[in-house]
Amino acid sequence: MTLSPSSALPKIDRRDFHRTSCRALAALATSGTGWTRRSRVAAQGTSIAPPVPYVDMHVHLGQPWNERGPLTAEMLLRWMDAHHIGRAVVLPLISPESWFYPITPQWVLEQTKPYQDRLIPFCAVDPRSVNLGGYRGFLDILRRYVEAGARGMGEHKWGGPVDHPANIELIRACAELQLPVLFHMDNIRNTDAPGLPGLERLLTEVPEAVLIGHAPGWWASISGDTTQDDMGGYPRRSVTQGGAIDRLMEKFPNLYGEISAGSGANALQRDREFAQEFLRRRADRLLFGTDYLADGQEVPQFELLASFDLPREVWSQIAAGNAEKLLNHPR
């Protein structure tokens, strides 16, 4: 979740996008894959249809707050219908660093219950919950959420180091219950240094944990020259080889990345040549996501993903296949 979603989003150069997407569409129309411009452009809504309906790994529901209006389950479903999203993961936010007010797992579970076929609730636990008493306590509360319908943990957005001992215990409990963890990383939440040594320590301690990276600290690390400042922002320069994301994905098969928000869009937009290869190379680890959190919010991911020249199989994996695999995991 981003505090000012629209203002923080990097702007896609419209001319650039149209040139690229028209070329991509023309290429697809003549490539013999059976995809035509007509079949890929939605009759309803404004997005280009993916080969399979999206699974959005990152959305929120919201209650009215000052000038912000509500985002109800029904509003979310209408937006999903207009954008070819079959199912969406709804993320609570409970850490004080995460949102204006707590969006509790209980509320998310309750709001999504009537729409279980399309809205998938996650839960959230803050590692500082000392009364839980560490690993055993984390297991206990996570089990209660799982019994109530939670399919993963996140948005995990607590204000401490990603490799803090309490965080390692919480992630260990999630791994025990086979709950994927979607974490937000920047210079305030799940903090780390350039090169992601903390995340590497966490993964080394709990290699069976399924971790899904999100936000500026994670996505800035696509590049080999990442600075600490980059990890709290939106670097625009070209990507250099040797980024921590590739290195850690190579080493840890349970590490994923989801492309939501300004940070995900920026990582793919800042160096399109690198991104084109990255999307193919990491097709089995990337997850579509939007971070939709407010009615009418602009979401760059639809146009952006469609603007790359991706084999149908790759696009399907990123749009839905990888998410289905994680969410349908028996537990």
- Least spacing, CB of residue 97 vs Zn ion, in Å: 12
In angstroms, the CA 277 to CA 282 distance is 8
With CA atoms as reference, report the closest residue to 84 among 116, 119, 42, 120: 42
Stretch that binds Zn ion, among 20-28, 151-159, 262-270, 304-312 (CB under 5 A): 151-159
Report the amino acid identity of residue 155.
Answer: E
Q: Which lies closer to Zn ion via its Cβ, residue 246 or residue 258? A: 258
Report the amino acid identity of residue 224.
Answer: G
Q: Which lies closer to Zn ion via its Cβ, residue 186 or residue 291? A: 291
Beta bridge partners of 90: 59, 121
Q: Which lies closer to Zn ion via its Cβ, residue 155 or residue 192? A: 155
- Within residues 234-293, the interface with Zn ion by CB under 5 A covers 291
| Residues making up the chain, counted from first to last | 331
Q: Which lies closer to Zn ion via its Cβ, residue 28 or residue 323? A: 323
- Least spacing, CB of residue 53 vs Zn ion, in Å: 21
Residue listed under structure tokens 């007509």: 38
Residue 44, number of CB atoms within 10 A of its CB: 10
CB neighbour class for 86 (10 Å; exposed up to 12, middle 13-18, buried from 19): middle
Report the amino acid identity of residue 72.
Answer: T
CA distances 62 to 88, 111, 241, Å, are 15, 10, 39
Rule CB under 5 A: say whether 1 interacts with Zn ion: yes
In angstroms, the CA 97 to CA 223 distance is 26
Contact map string, positions 283 to 322, toward Zn ion, x by CB under 5 A? --------x-------------------------------
In angstroms, the CA 318 to CA 285 distance is 8
Element (H, E) at 212: strand 211-214
Residue listed under structure tokens 């023309």: 26
Q: Which lies closer to Zn ion via its Cβ, residue 54 or residue 274? A: 54
**Which is it for the CA torsion 186, 189, 194, 197, positive or negative?**
negative
- Least spacing, CB of residue 94 vs Zn ion, in Å: 13
Stretch that binds Zn ion, among 106-114, 153-161, 233-241, 316-324 (CB under 5 A): 153-161
Q: Which lies closer to Zn ion via its Cβ, residue 191 or residue 260? A: 260
Instruction: Give the CB-side neighbour count of residue 251, counting CA atoms within 13 A.
Output: 16
- Least spacing, CB of residue 229 vs Zn ion, in Å: 22
- Within residues 154-173, the interface with Zn ion by CB under 5 A covers 155
For the chain, give the longest Cα–Cα distance. Answer: 62
- Least spacing, CB of residue 60 vs Zn ion, in Å: 6
- Least spacing, CB of residue 261 vs Zn ion, in Å: 7
Q: Which residue is nearest to Zn ion (CB)?
A: 1
- Least spacing, CB of residue 201 vs Zn ion, in Å: 25
How many residues touch Zn ion (CB under 5 A)? 3
- Least spacing, CB of residue 58 vs Zn ion, in Å: 6
Contact map string, positions 108 to 147, toward Zn ion, x by CB under 5 A? ----------------------------------------
Residues in contact with Zn ion by the rule CB under 5 A: 1, 155, 291
